[in-house]
Structure 1
Amino acid sequence: MTKTSMISKKTIGFELLLVISFVILAFAIAMAVGIGEMRIPLRTVALSITNHMGLSNAEIGRIQDSVIWNLRLSRALVTALCGAGLAICGAVLQTLLRNSLAEPYVLGVSAGASTGAVAVIILGIGAGAVSLSMGAFAGAMTAFVFVAVLSNSGRGGPDRTILAGVAAAQLFNALTAYIVTTSGNAQQARDIMFWLLGSFGGVRWPEFQLLIVIIIIGLSICIWHSQALDAFTFGDDAAASMGIAVERVRIILFAVTALITATIVSMVGSIGFVGLVVPHAVRFLIGPGHIRLLPACALVGAVFMVLADIVSRSVMAQQTLPIGIVTALVGVPCFSLILYRARQAV
């Protein structure tokens, strides 16, 4: 088989994966909008959306239309964007750190966001002027700055960055535990625990509008540096020999992943395994080239997260499981299968 035909097969696989993922994502979002205490048929969901887009003028009950447009559709879209963002960050960090176990929270961003959220909820920092999301975002970016300084702004190499992330995570997790243990009551501790495991319950259109801007800008920057990411796969020396400014590119991409992760965590809490499992699955399907890998990860991550959200709202009657529990229960078997297949391929 010639090199040209191999590239052609990968291209066909990439395009097919995008089409299949997009179709599944559209159907999954429609299902997510229809599921809830008030069951809404998929046809009604589609008509409501097309009505608001000016593509139709069908008669729909006012209550159903309000539930679809004001509550569930925004949640489903934010859910998809969170999955896309975490998958993109996972793919980039696994390459930058040359570590197959790297994922969006390896830089301690999630731990910092947790500390910021706890400080707002329990300690009342900001006296009502600072929201939960703002506090979590401030904590996340504080953790990122801490890691950047500790790892000498990325010049210490991947191993030093990982160690700095571990140190930051331990520090901020300890601060969170201390605040909850010494200052919080039982109800506050329960609320914090639910938030730490991830929840899409409070997201609406403002969160969607902010998140889609962050994801589009972040994905565009990462794709712009896709050739540099391909070079990083072979190490810093190989990237430098190709004329890539290793330190500058690494700092830019670390900052982008930190911004995306901080924004997501500040809105919905910590959600694990998406950024770990999805990039490995996509690489297995279409190969490691980042010009294809990044957009494919975004779509597959969105599908994974929306389906997980559907499961979290359907598995127990009149109760929603934290999304982090579902992603872990699904992610562990998937990751185990990927490791098993990789072992067979060696």
Structure 2
Amino acid sequence: MRAARLSRGGLWLLCCGLLALLAASGVAAFGFGAARIPVSHVFAIVADALGLGSGTRNWTPAERNIVMELRVPRVLLGAAAGAGLAAVGAVLQVLTRNPLADPYLFGVSAGAGLGAVVVILYAGSLAGPLTLPGAAFLGALLAMALVFAAARGRQGAPTSERLILTGVAVAFVLHAATNFLITTSLDRGADAVMFWMMGGLGAARWSSVPVPLALSCAGIVWLMLRAASVNALAFGDDTARTLGIDPVRLRAEMFVVTALMTGAIVAMSGGIGFVGLVMPHIVRLLAGGDLRRLLPLSGLFGALFLVWIDVLARSAFAPREIPLGVVTAAIGGAFFLWLMRRRREP
């Protein structure tokens, strides 16, 4: 099945349309949850917060607190996590020439999760506001360093195949270490860790949003600036060298940037799977495999997807909330099976 070709003008038009849809979706999502808030009240509260209010206040103080203090940070974190994970997945799939590559394949998410779990279980209230994301950053970077060190062959530079296989092995080891810490912990924090490992945005607050939001946006911009060079790697290292690109250096740079992005997202939202795997495949059906088109569209589709999946997770069985990773795994896994069946050769 051939992907549709988008002109440059069509790409910009689609991106602008998706941005507008994301903004409208975010505002609409503020009203959903255990306490339903009318859409008219949501729009009035947001307009008043932006200084665009008409002066007539038809909402209660409780509704304003729910929207501005709980749901706005939650939607912002969901959009940042969806965009960041989808962009990272798109880069890794092109970088490694593996359609199954995503942030979880190389042990990055497992390393970030291990660092965060150590802080949650053993630092507790002594941890400062930056301790959790800092531990996740460190865990992600250490996991990536371990993958690179273990994947080195006799010639020194690790190949894409060795990186993938080593990443899978490292991820299993780190997941085992994380599960060991949880099962041997006698602290009540183990229950919170289990929910956090399945993914969720319930802990989003204004103090926790800036780091993942800033790193996701800055990381996507950086990846887009390097998209043309990464495209060259899709044709092999030898081809990249003829174009003046150092494959080893570029691959290391990309892995460090994606590790930082993944670490920031995992620290605040836990393990949310399948977003980085499925979203790039959906976008390829529309725009092809050029990373310069794939990156912005994957980010926007990923942000939209996670914002509405979070609405489903917190509204379907309200007031009980479904772990976000459970919903993304169910929907993403089913879609991926359908996609593979559709592409199956006769």
**TM value normalised by structure 2:** 0.90
Query: Corresponding residue for 2:150?
Result: 150
Aligned-partner SS, 1:343 = coil
Are the aligned partners of 1:122 and 1:184 in contact in 2 as well (CA < 8 Å)?
no
Whichever residue aligns with residue 135 of structure 1, its letter is A
1:43 to 34, 40, 44: 40
Aligned-partner SS, 2:34 = coil
Aligned-partner SS, 1:34 = coil
Give the Cα–Cα distance (whole angstroms) in 1 for the partners of residues 56 and 144 of structure 2. Answer: 50
Are the aligned partners of 1:137 and 1:265 in contact in 2 as well (CA < 8 Å)?
no
Query: Which range moves more in the overlay, 299-308 or 49-58?
Result: 49-58
Q: What are structure 2's unaligned runs of at least 5 residues?
A: none
Query: Which range moves more in the overlay, 6-15 or 301-310?
Result: 6-15
Deviations 1:194-234 (A, max 9, x none): 11010101112233222222122211111111111221121
Q: Does 1:338 align with 2:335?
A: no
Aligned-partner SS, 2:105 = coil
Give the Cα–Cα distance (whole angstroms) in 1 for the partners of residues 114 and 186 of structure 2. Answer: 13
Give the Cα–Cα distance (whole angstroms) in 2 for the partners of residues 53 and 127 of structure 1. Answer: 36
Deviation at 1:14, TM superposition (A): 2.6
Query: Corresponding residue for 1:62?
Result: 61
Give the Cα–Cα distance (whole angstroms) in 2 for the partners of residues 67 and 59 of structure 1. Answer: 19
Aligned-partner SS, 2:207 = helix
Whichever residue aligns with residue 102 of structure 1, its letter is A
Question: What does 1:150-189 correspond to in 2, within 5 Å?
Answer: 150-152=150-152, 155-184=157-186, 187-189=188-190
Are the aligned partners of 1:34 and 1:45 in contact in 2 as well (CA < 8 Å)?
yes
Are the aligned partners of 2:27 and 2:42 in contact in 1 as well (CA < 8 Å)?
yes
Q: 1:127 to 1:67 in 2, by over 3 A?
A: closer
Aligned-partner SS, 2:53 = coil
Q: State the percentage of identical aligned residues.
A: 39
**TM value normalised by structure 1:** 0.90
Aligned-partner SS, 2:97 = coil
Q: 1:50 to 1:119 in 2, by over 3 A?
A: same
Give the Cα–Cα distance (whole angstroms) in 1 for the partners of residues 228 and 123 of structure 2. Answer: 46
Question: What does 1:85-100 correspond to in 2, within 5 Å?
Answer: 85-100=84-99
Give the Cα–Cα distance (whole angstroms) in 1 for the partners of residues 105 and 286 of structure 2. Answer: 25
Are the aligned partners of 1:13 and 1:286 in contact in 2 as well (CA < 8 Å)?
no
Deviation at 1:16, TM superposition (A): 4.6
Are the aligned partners of 2:273 and 2:325 in contact in 1 as well (CA < 8 Å)?
yes
Deviation at 1:12, TM superposition (A): 5.2
Whichever residue aligns with residue 178 of structure 1, its letter is F
Deviations 1:219-265 (A, max 9, x none): 11111111112211211111112111211111111111110000000
Deviation at 1:143, TM superposition (A): 1.5
Give the Cα–Cα distance (whole angstroms) in 2 for the partners of residues 341 and 16 of structure 1. Answer: 29
Query: Corresponding residue for 1:74?
Result: 73
Give the Cα–Cα distance (whole angstroms) in 2 for the partners of residues 266 and 325 of structure 1. Answer: 18
Give the Cα–Cα distance (whole angstroms) in 1 for the partners of residues 4 and 307 of structure 2. Answer: 31
Deviation at 1:341, TM superposition (A): 3.1
Query: Which range moves more in the overlay, 163-172 or 242-251?
Result: 163-172
Deviation at 1:15, TM superposition (A): 3.7
Deviation at 1:128, TM superposition (A): 4.1
Query: Corresponding residue for 2:239?
Result: 238
Give the Cα–Cα distance (whole angstroms) in 2 for the partners of residues 127 and 49 of structure 1. Answer: 35
Give the Cα–Cα distance (whole angstroms) in 2 for the partners of residues 77 and 35 of structure 1. Answer: 15
Query: Corresponding residue for 1:327?
Result: 328
Query: Corresponding residue for 1:3?
Result: none
Deviations 1:263-300 (A, max 9, x none): 00011101000000000110111111111111111100
Are the aligned partners of 1:141 and 1:259 in contact in 2 as well (CA < 8 Å)?
yes
Aligned-partner SS, 2:73 = helix
Query: Corresponding residue for 2:300?
Result: 299
Aligned-partner SS, 1:122 = helix
Give the Cα–Cα distance (whole angstroms) in 2 for the partners of residues 45 and 215 of structure 1. Answer: 26
Deviations 1:124-165 (A, max 9, x none): 489545844443333223212222332349921111211221
Are the aligned partners of 1:119 and 1:125 in contact in 2 as well (CA < 8 Å)?
no
Question: What does 1:185-196 correspond to in 2, within 5 Å?
Answer: 187-196=188-197
1:34 to 20, 31, 37: 31
Query: Corresponding residue for 2:219?
Result: 218
Q: 1:334 to 1:15 in 2, by over 3 A?
A: farther
Give the Cα–Cα distance (whole angstroms) in 1 for the partners of residues 236 and 81 of structure 2. Answer: 29
Give the Cα–Cα distance (whole angstroms) in 1 for the partners of residues 224 and 50 of structure 2. Answer: 30
Q: Does 1:25 align with 2:22?
A: yes
How many residues align? The count is 339
Whichever residue aligns with residue 44 of structure 1, its letter is H
Are the aligned partners of 2:115 and 2:138 in contact in 1 as well (CA < 8 Å)?
yes
Aligned-partner SS, 1:213 = helix
Whichever residue aligns with residue 219 of structure 2, its letter is G
Deviation at 1:80, TM superposition (A): 0.6
Whichever residue aligns with residue 207 of structure 2, its letter is P
